[in-house]
Structure 1
Amino acid sequence: MKKNNVYILEDRGLLYVSGYDVKEFLQNIITNDIDAVSENNSCFAGLLSPQGKYLYDFIVVKHKSGYFLDCEKKIIDELYKQLTIYKLRSKVDILNLSNEFVVAALHKDKFLELGNSKDQNGYTTKFREDTILLDPRHNELGARLIINLEKLYLSLKKLNLQSSNVEEYYDLSHSLGVPQIDTKKLQNKLFGIECNFEELRGIDFKKGCYVGQENTARIKHKNKLSKRILPLTLLEGNIDNEILKVNNTEIGKVLINNSKPFALIKIKEKEFEFDKELNCENAKVLFKKPQWLSII
């Protein structure tokens, strides 16, 4: 990312969740602590199955009397339905505002030029009355501006930003080990904690119960985390076959197979190594260890 570039994330959608019971409603179902979300702090969170399997992830941002859920647009209708199922008799309203608001990504240094900003993951402030925040997952992902579509280009002009190819942003996200495209392919294929939610600040292990909390806590506290979702670099061949084998030993499965692939890898398998070319059955691949990932 360059300082004066901006990336219009048209593939992101926004749900707005509000109402008298909204705080309790979200606290009971998402992986992170809604009490930590305020006008000055946003968070990354997930919604898991009762078994602790990954379903959806999103960024939670305070907006007026409710919260924006910034998520991949491809899954927004599913997420809306899932939240409606959990709603029951709660006094909660859920609106899809994707046609009114847009998310734009910009460089961290541009964000820090704002007089009311801080170099703190999730730090949230305003620019011309619109929400802007430093990405809560990883600071190299820069900042996110959530803005009404009608005001977007005037604000970008005032920030002296130039619209750039969004592929640059997603290439960066892939290199950092943060999947954001085709996340539907992860659903029910792995546990939320295997999505690196802890390292990406997406789980609060001190909050009360939430959907999938029991298995998530068990994996964490009994040191049973043996698989991780990792960015895959294809050096040669193809990965159409989702099973990855090295020396006839299965090391993992390709879950997201697009131009920015991710695989669920058995990180404790002796045949697996970071930063080494691995000869699989139909491909030569490489896994670079994300700098934030601590693995013994």
Structure 2
Amino acid sequence: MKATQIAQQLFKSLQLQLHSRSVISVHGRDSAKFLNGLCTQTIPTPQDGGRYAAILSPPGRMLYDTFIYPTSADCFYLDVDSRVSAGVVALCNKYKLRSKVKVEGVEGVGVYWKDEGGVGEQEQEQEQEHHQIASIASMIDPRAPGMGRRILAESRDARDARDEHSAHSTHPEYSRRRYSLGVPEGIDDLWPEKSLPLESNIDYMNGVNFRKGCYVGQELTIRTQHTGVVRKRILPITLQRRQNEGDTPTPPPMTNIYAQLPSLKTPKQVGKLCGTLPNPDGSISGIALLRLEMLVRAPDGLFIRGDSGNDPHWHVQARIPEWWPNDPKLDGVLREAEMGDQTQ
């Protein structure tokens, strides 16, 4: 089979261009050292493949999530939320000081998602062998099993394949996959200057190396990992309208989530909504930042209400993703909540 035919076949298997993501180039002899001081994950070599990471503020809160693709020892591509790509470039230029680094947006290159579920082993090996012919860089998404492959490719080449297979190439499919797995992405889910990396599951999603050297904002993250307890995390949720409430508008990100606890006369605010996506059956899939103890104390008592208290309510059903790693601290939080309820 000719190389051009292999390239065409690969592009035909691309399911979606992620227009919500943009590409930034960081290159120069100091680029790896520079990025190591900026990101929560160790910067990969071309032999390592790509990695997922976060960029934090000096106090240790989330600024941006990013995928890092090395193309050589001193050249990297960053895949970031399109709405903040200019901010990422500005931040990098602020921190580079005298480093021999150039940071700039990349035009004409898109981020693509390929769902590798159901791909045969032989076909997958062939694509892995030849993907460099058709793409600039690619990686298996390390955040959670089932998140597929991310590919950087020239937009003009991949656009034809995307249009040809547009019936199977929609943003909802990618978002639904993320939400079903509880994977946050972009500023709707990871709120700049507000979200904390461990509450956002950056550690569970292979985005933090707790053994690497210094980077901006590391102190709070490292201290929490070694001496603290994470009591809130982003979880996959389903929203259901209460009966006879018609077409209630979907609540926006950062809407408060409440719990009705037997020990309290009034509902308690226990979390905030992140991104959402309507389902054909009228329910809403999404993710939310929630207090973990509520999975025990109020598993069926979570809801969203309007500011006036008279607006229609949504039932909120949350769950722990199956792919989460075994975490004794998480188990401890849930046991503590269960024991607390038994003593009341």
For the aligned pair, the TM-score class normalised by the smaller chain equals: 0.7 to 0.9
Q: Structure 1 residues 42 and 56, CA, compared in 2 at 3 Å: closer, same or farther?
A: same
Query: Which secondary structure state, in structure 1, belongs to the residue aligned with residue 80 of structure 2?
Result: strand
In percent, how many aligned pairs have the same letter? Answer: 26
| In 2: Cα distance, 1:225 partner to 1:163 partner | 39
Over 3 Å counting, the alpha-carbon distance change for 1:8 and 1:163 in structure 2 is farther
Alignment partner of 1:288 out of 319, 329, 335: 319
Q: Higher relative contact order at CA 8 Å, sep ≥6: structure 1 or structure 2?
A: 1
Select the residue among 136, 139, 156 that pairs with 1:133: 139
Structure 2 vs 1, CA of residues 272 and 69 (structure 1 numbering), >3 Å: closer, same or farther? farther
* 8 Å CA contact retained: 1:199, 1:292: no
Q: Which amino acid aligns with 1:19?
A: G
* Counterpart contact for 2:64–2:190, Cα < 8 Å: no
Contact 2:27 2:75 in 1 (8 A): yes
Work out whether residues 31 and 203 of structure 1, in 8 Å CA contact, stay in contact via their aligned partners in 2: yes
- Residue identity matched to 2:258: K
Map 1:43-58; keep pairs closer than 5 Å: 43-58=51-66
- Whether 2:155 is the aligned partner of 1:149: answer yes
- Secondary structure at the aligned position of 2:132 is classed as strand
Mapped partners of 2:239, 2:130: distance in 1: 37
Aligned length: 285
Consecutive unaligned residues of structure 1, counting only runs of 5 or more, are none
Other-structure match for 1:251: 270
1:53-72 → structure 2 map (5 Å cutoff) = 53-64=61-72, 65-72=74-81
Q: Assess if the C-alpha contact under 8 Å between 1:256 and 1:262 holds in 2.
A: yes
C-alpha contact 2:257 2:303 (8 A) present in aligned 1 = no
Q: Which aligned pairs between 1:26-41 and structure 2 lie closer than 5 A? A: 26-34=35-43, 36-41=44-49
d(CA) in 2 for partners of 1:217, 1:228: 17
Contact 1:4 1:161 in 2 (8 A): no
Instruction: Tell me, yes or no, if the aligned pair for 2:180 and 2:286 is still in contact at 8 Å.
Output: no
CA deviations on 1:139-184 (whole Å, 9 max, x unpaired) are 3111122111232257779xx9975112111111111111225437
Secondary structure at the aligned position of 1:232 is classed as strand
SS of 1:89's partner is coil
Aligned pair in 2 of structure 1 residues 67, 263: CA closer, same or farther (>3 Å)?
same
Aligned pair partner of 2:292 in 261, 267, 281 = 267
CA distance in 1, matches of 2:170, 2:27: 34
1:75 is matched with which residue?
Answer: 84
SS at match of 1:82: helix
Structure having the larger proportion of residues in strand = 1
More divergent stretch after superposition (277-286 vs 63-72): 277-286
Separation of aligned partners in 2, 1:37 and 1:114: 23
What is the CA-CA distance between 1:8 and the residue it aligns to?
A: 1.4
Deviation, 1:246, is 1.2
Provide the residue aligned with 2:210 in structure 1. 205
Classify the secondary structure of the residue corresponding to 2:198: helix
Distance 1:46 1:185, change over 3 A: closer
Asked if 1:191 is matched to 2:196, the reply is: yes
Larger radius of gyration: 2
